[in-house]
Chain A
Amino acid sequence: MSAPATIVDVRGVDVELGGRRILTDVNFSVRSGDFTGLIGSNGAGKTTLLRLMLGLVQPTQGEVVWPSHAREQRRVGYVPQKVALDVDVPLRVRDFVALGDDGHRYGLRRRTPDTWRRVHDVLDAVEASDLAERRIGALSGGELQRVLMAHALVSAPELLLLDEPLANLDPGATEDIVSLLARVREREHVAILLSAHDINSLLGVMDRVVYIANAHVASGPTDEVVRPDVLSKLYGHHVDVVRVHGRFLVVTGTTSQEPVAEHPDLVVE
């Protein structure tokens, strides 16, 4: 059996935003069919890394390579953590999902029955068929998340990127989404990379981990990365990894803090 093809290769990437170093010398790759967890605390640079892979952030050094395609043809779906939706926008769920297929194309090509079949197919894959006729602005947070997944899947991507899909979920819901993603991976033959700040809920399904701390990244199979020596090097000081009842507990000694949101124009004295 030949080795799975590489979908995307992140090579020696540095990212600076507003003069601040966000990521340093990041190297990892995603192969077809992989389920990768991008793990790090809040503000560690996970979203920046995802946006880098999407081409929305430019690296100051290094490159992101999609070996099998030109950048314009890369097939990647993206599920953001939050999306600002206008509650009054006149769109049904199925209209919105269909826009994932043709919304970026100018002109009025007619949607064929095949398009609609595909729309209902992906809604079925994320177990949201009953939402098809609802107004997009009237969905709950959890419903919207599934619809965003369907929206990302409708163009048959090779890789699905999800930004913190497990944030703000109770343990039961977390379990549901993780197992749903595992089923989606099988059914749609799509590699999955998702960011999360807790590693444990992903242990059952995750093949590889990209661990991010202090603007640096360590990647590889879970057991090779989540170890005291690797993580201590990453954090720059001693870190303990404790395994309790099959769960990881990473003890870093310092508390991480989310940067306070600042107004772009004004520093309050």
Chain B
Amino acid sequence: MFSSFMTNAWIVGTVVALLAGATGFFVVLRGSSFAAHAIPNGAFAGAAGAALVGVTPLVGLITFAVMASVGIGASRRHRSDVATAMALVMMLALGAAFLSLSAAYEPQVEALLFGEILGVATTSIAPVVIIASLCAAALAVMYRPLLFNAAAPDLAAVRGLNPQRLEMGFMLTLALGAALTVPVVGALLTFSLTVGPPAAARLVTRRPGSALVASMVLSVITLWASIAASYQSNLPVGFFVGSLSALAYVAARVLTQWRGRRV
């Protein structure tokens, strides 16, 4: 399980989980789960498009993830879920068109959706670490405005915080993270990590800093357990990540209800 060919999976998995835990904290705080689901799917379509045109996948991933995030971020607050849904289906439909025009292999499609973390190449470690650090830096800069805007949007606007600019900044950060993680761990796995552990973390503490750290730790534990379980059972990592993430949230809910009050 810790043999040399697994080393890359552990390293990249940990970085991706840390990033998903951090972005997820804000995703859950802001109620942006739909966007967090749509943007990686947009990136997936971009990879398919890049294969059709014959450019390197990263270009397609970034282009489409950014297009999706701009489409979502530019929508007015009212009915932003409709804009997200439309951006999502448009991207996926484009992806389907690209695939049918280029006749890509089924396994490639599945890899983009469900990920192949056990087959991560050593060359993809450096880009993953670099882009993850960029995203982390962006989140750090936006930390307080994101918190303020999520807690009380009206009051934040009174203090001169531009909600559109903030939303756009956050969406672009999500897009960058998605473009990076999709080819490595798949569009669907990232999403599971982005919602379950952070939603659990914020129930068990009332301090924003601790909730952020707890979210990252929980996300890493979820992924480590999933990789280990997947290695032992030969079942897909995505299955374990999805169910363990949901389980983490349910456990936190049960725990807080059982204690009878919130901390």
Q: State yes or no: do A and B touch (Cβ within 8 Å).
A: yes
The interface of chain A, by Cβ under 8 A from chain B, is 54, 56, 72, 76, 78, 80, 83-86, 88-92, 95-96, 99-100, 102-108, 134-138, 148, 151, 155, 264
Question: Chain B residues near A137 (CB, 8 Å)?
Answer: 262
With a 10 A CB-CB cut-off, give which of B78, B147, B148, B151 has the most chain A CB atoms. B151
The docked-state distance in angstroms from the alpha carbon of A54 to that of B159 is 9
**B157 contacts partner chain A, Cβ-Cβ < 8 Å:** yes
Contact partner of A85 (CB less than 8 A), chosen from B141, B152, B206, is B152
The docked-state distance in angstroms from the alpha carbon of A136 to that of B152 is 11
**Residue of B with least CB distance to A82:** B154
Range, interface on chain B: 20 to 34
A78 and B155 within 8 A (CB): yes
The docked-state distance in angstroms from the alpha carbon of A170 to that of B205 is 34
The interface of chain B, by Cβ under 8 A from chain A, is 29, 78, 140-145, 147-148, 150-161, 201-203, 205-208, 210-211, 262-263
Extra contacts besides A90-B210, A99-B151, A106-B142 (4): CB < 8 Å: A83-B154, A89-B151, A104-B156, A105-B144
The docked-state distance in angstroms from the alpha carbon of A264 to that of B78 is 10
Contact partner of B207 (CB less than 8 A), chosen from A54, A90, A105, is A90
Quote the shortest CB–CB distance from B26 to chain A (angstroms).
Answer: 11
Quote the shortest CB–CB distance from B223 to chain A (angstroms).
Answer: 22
Contact partner of B147 (CB less than 8 A), chosen from A56, A72, A103, A134, is A103
B148 and A104 within 8 A (CB): yes
Question: Chain A residues near B153 (CB, 8 Å)?
Answer: 84
B152 and A83 within 8 A (CB): yes
Contact partner of A135 (CB less than 8 A), chosen from B141, B152, B263, is B263
**Residue of B with least CB distance to A80:** B154
Question: Chain B residues near A135 (CB, 8 Å)?
Answer: 206, 262-263
A103 and B207 within 8 A (CB): no
Question: Chain A residues near B201 (CB, 8 Å)?
Answer: 90
B143 and A108 within 8 A (CB): yes
B142 and A90 within 8 A (CB): no
Question: Chain B residues near A100 (CB, 8 Å)?
Answer: 155, 159
B147 and A108 within 8 A (CB): no
Contact partner of A92 (CB less than 8 A), chosen from B144, B203, B206, is B206
Question: Chain A residues near B156 (CB, 8 Å)?
Answer: 103-104
Question: Chain A residues near B151 (CB, 8 Å)?
Answer: 85-86, 89, 91, 96, 99, 136
Quote the shortest CB–CB distance from A153 to chain B (angstroms).
Answer: 13
Question: Chain B residues near A96 (CB, 8 Å)?
Answer: 151-152
